[in-house]
Amino acid sequence: MNVDKSADKSAVMNAVKSAATGRWYQALAEAQAALTAHALATVVTVAGSAPRGAGSKMLITPDTLHDSLGGGRLEQLVVERARERLARGQSGCLLEEIALGQHAQQCCGGHVQVLIELYPALAPRLALFGAGHVGQAIVTLLAPLGWQIDWRDSRPEQLTAATTPAGCEGRVARQAFNILTDLPTAKAAPASESLPVMAGSHVLVLTHDHVEDQALVAALAPRDDLASLGLIGSSSKWARFRQRLRGDLAEHQIARVRCPIGVPGIPGKRPEEIAIGVVAELLQIEARRSDEAAVNSSDKATGHGASLQGTSLDSHGLTRQGARQLRAHFAPDAMHQTETTQKAE
């Protein structure tokens, strides 16, 4: 296998450069405005010798670093933990207890607590198959709302000619794709795994060809990692599709498909009117998903007795009792003051 070492070196240098030039507060404002995944790490307490003092901050994204917690293994561990959680889409706060000698192998040997605030990517994603009039109207409505749109069509010229709202070009990724020619046709082939659709995406199928529509639905319905799956068409169209799909799909897979799509009560048939109903339905579905995710996150935190109580950053672990002993060793006066305050409360 040929590896482009110069490209790897360039990528590393770019990452280092971004870390050296960006300030955490500037990067935080940009990340929150763009709804991209990021984490803010803050040194909240220091006992003994440490690379940076309390209040030092670093902004961490999946690809870049901004400012520093002092470098070395401490910083590396914090970055690894933050990116691991961001990759899983987790949110909330972690309070990490880190003994610099035991966990970070740093000679300064102090003890620090680092608060990591996690902000997962907030922009929902839509995989849109079809660049006809309705597809264009949907993009016109959704792109300004911050949605990331993966736009696919089997007609490259149609996809190229389709317009995107001004200022939203970076949110819309176009790709010519024809499921009838670009994927294996054998039943044993993992067509659903080869589709250009990211996990967690909402999907709308509204191509110009009913054969393409059916092939896409057949490949997408088995996937249980999609936020939603909708097919444009009438009830009679869906009845015919259901009958054809029963030979290859289970009933619970077919049940994942919404058809017709759009909120009821909008009688118009113009592309803009159809798009309004479809986008309204997507916004409702996404709002329900966000509410359910918030409830599940709260339940998990309560069930494990965790709010700001994180785990240590290495496989050996640092228990709360061990952390208290370390703080007592490095800062006995501060420890005594904390215990007195707790008794008073």
Give the chain as a 3 state SS string. CCCCHHHHHHHHHHHHHHHHHCCHHHHHHHHHHHCCCEEEEEEEEEECECCCCCCCEEEECCCCEECCCCCHHHHHHHHHHHHHHHHCCCCEEEEEEEECCCCCCCCCECEEEEEEEEECCCCCEEEEECCCHHHHHHHHHHHHHCCEEEEEECCHHHHHHCCCCCCCHHHEEEEECCHHHHCCCCCCCCHHHHCCCCCCCEEEECCCCHHHHHHHHHHHCCCCCCCEEEECCCHHHHHHHHHHHCCCCCHHHHCCEECCCCCCCCCCCCHHHHHHHHHHHHHHHHHHHHHHHHHHHHHHHHHCCCCCCCCCCCCCCCCHHHHHHHHHHHCHHHHHHHHHHHHHC
Return the pLDDT at 7. 42
Nearest to 245 by CA among 217, 220, 224: 217
pLDDT digits (tens, 9 = 90+) for 286-330: 988 877 766 665 555 444 433 333 444 433 344 455 545 545 554
Tell me if 257 sits within 8 A of 231, measured CB to CB.
yes
Residue-wise pLDDT for 19-67, tens only, equals 434 689 999 988 887 778 899 999 998 887 777 788 999 999 988 999 9
Buried b (16+ CB within 10 A) or exposed e, 46-81: bbbebbbeeebbbbbbeebbbbbbbebebbebbbeb
Pick the more confident residue, 206 or 334: 206
pLDDT for res 223 = 93
Task: Name the packing angle between helices 320-330 and 332-344 (round to 10°).
Answer: 120
Q: Is the peptide bond before 196 cis (omega within 30 degrees of 0)?
A: no
Residue 340's pLDDT band, with cuts at 50, 70 and 90, is very low
What's the rounded Cα separation, in Å, for the pair 152 and 174? 6
Q: Is the pTM of this model over 0.75?
A: no
| Least confident range of 157-161, 210-214, 237-241, 311-315 | 311-315
Contacts for 33 with CB less than 8 Å, ≥ 6 apart: none
Greater pLDDT, 32 or 238? 238
